[in-house]
Structure 1
Amino acid sequence: MRMIRTQQDGPILEILIDRPERRNALTDAMYREIDQALQAANTNPECTAVILHGAGGHFTAGNDLSEFQIPQSSRDVGSIAFLHTLADIDVPVIASVQGQAVGVGVTLLAHCDFVYADQTAVFRLPFVSLGLCPEGASSYLLPRLAGPRLAAQWLLHAQPFDATQALEGHLIHSIEDDPLAAARACAKGLAAQPTAALRASKRLLKANDRPAVHQVLDAEAAVFFERLKSPEAQAAFQQFFTRKG
């Protein structure tokens, strides 16, 4: 069963995370599918925007924690490859957020060019509470977006925050009754622009940050995968799966 669905509407590509029974929790295979879709969009000279959204009233509950029980190397993980592609893509990326946005479901938003959410959206960065550390270059990007105080609150306290605080911290652009409709309207506006100029302009907007983002992505990943082996993380996962059981 496909859990990542893509739909091309003229120059606009929509990527739907479709695993509603798990609140769209992402597996390694799902990251790789999204990565491939983003790369295809970037090599398509006609593509002017990518919309990323989730099925069943949720964006994504983040990484499927059961996969953290499998020995991994940060050098060959779908999530890291996906994040590097997302950081590098010249096609504008738009996110539509409802319900749960957890972990990478929050950190990926910092790489998007436009983010719309509704009042049901709940954001959480639970890394520290799981014995882990920030990922997705969030230790670099969130202080730049939200300021160091709010970024520290989000990352270190690991508590949920709502769409209003996400808007105050510049993680999202606006709160909408229908964020997917807002994302599609944004994409249509981008499609009206000359494509090569659009991509060149995004490339210039990102040029100064991209080298640092890629460097931080790898530095965070190295610590993250070491933390996965730690007694703190293993105890947190055991507690999580005990509650789920």
Structure 2
Amino acid sequence: MTQPSGILMIDATFNDGILEICINRPESKNALNRAMYDRLTELFDEYGDNDSCVAIILYGAGGVFTAGADLKDFQQKREPGDSPAVRFLRSLSRAKPPVIAAVEGFAIGIGTTLLQHCDFVYATASTRCRLPFAALGLCPEGGSSLLLEQIVGRRKARDWLMTCRFFDGQEAHDAGYITELTDSGKTLEKARETAQALAKIPQNSLRATKEMLSGWHQPDLQKAFDNEVLMFAKCLATNATQDSIKQTGKV
């Protein structure tokens, strides 16, 4: 059974227990706006705690994963508490089925940090990643203040977060941030192969394994989200940050 959804530039299909989510805004390099975050949250809330869902695949249309947040949203008044992006990240981080990312082209800002919450990440050697927050006058987000160092180590985490430089898929793979490199145009195929393999494993033991691997850091992760939300809002409210954002395209 297929359940299509072309709402708000997020497309979703659910077949044979596998949910595929496509970020589909190619004219903006799949930059994510508030409405798109809300739709992603709805999908992860619905399928992330659904026993019929055996895997979730996330990818971008047009050979690009996502150029990150649409910075126009950062120029609007922010209400207290979680932003739409943080609500999505919390939902993603709590998903019970395995989450698989197929990453090609650019993965900028949240396009890189959301990968911390995926169980499998497939990318090409030429995939371009960047964590540009400090360069914009902002601070780490997406749980990266906690998880990034755990995944890639102290030195590499500081390098990526403080220099804000681009790094490619090969470097990310060598650092342990990516599961496996594939040829260009093959990441989604690999993600589907993995999802189908996972579907053959007893689901109670698969979910128990994921819970044991990720559950121990959930309290600390949620605290990290809380701290990042406060710091991000403080940074975003400064004139210097707003000037940097206006001079920049998308993160």
Equivalent in 2, 6, 29 of residue 12 of structure 2: 6
Written as runs of structure 1 = structure 2, the 5 A alignment for 1:18-167 is 18-167=24-173
Spell out, residue by residue over 1:184-220, the C-alpha distance to the aligned partner (whole angstroms, 9 max, x if none): 0110011001112211211111111111111101101
Letter of the 1:209 counterpart: H
Q: Return the letter of the residue paired with 1:108.
A: L
Unaligned runs of 5+ in 2: 1-6
Deviates more, 1:134-143 or 1:36-45: 36-45
Q: Distance in 2 between matches of 1:87 and 1:27?
A: 19
TM-score scaled by length of structure 2? 0.93
- Is the 1:46–1:195 contact (alpha carbons within 8 Å) kept by the matching residues of 2? no
1:187 equivalent to 2:168? Answer no
User: Unmatched 5+ residue regions in structure 1?
Assistant: none
Letter of the 2:119 counterpart:
D
Question: Is 1:209 the counterpart of 2:217 in the alignment?
Answer: yes
1:61 deviates by 0.6
Instruction: Give how far 1:120 is off.
Output: 3.2
Structure 1 residue 60: deviation in Å?
0.5
CA distance in 2 between partners of 1:67 and 1:102 (Å): 16
SS of corresponding position for 1:65: coil
Contact residue 20 and residue 55 of structure 1 kept, 8 A: yes
**Distance across 1 between alignment mates of 2:179 and 2:13:** 24
For the 8 Å contact 1:24–1:55, the answer to whether it is kept is yes
Q: CA RMSD in A?
A: 1.3
Normalised to the residue count of structure 1, the TM-score between the two structures is 0.96
Report how far residue 42 of structure 1 moved.
2.2
Aligned partners of 2:172 and 2:80: how far apart in 1? 29
Q: Aligned equivalents of 1:97 and 1:212: distance in 2?
A: 27
Shift in CA distance, 120/74, structure 1 to aligned 2, threshold 3 Å: farther
Secondary structure at the aligned position of 2:107 is classed as strand
User: Share of identical aligned residues, percent?
Assistant: 42
How many residue pairs align between the two structures?
Answer: 242
**One-letter code aligned to 2:209:** S
Q: Residues 79-134 of structure 1, C-alpha deviation per residue, up to 9 Å, x if partnerless? A: 11111111111111000000010000000001100000013310000000000000
**Conserved? CA contact 1:59–1:99, under 8 Å:** yes
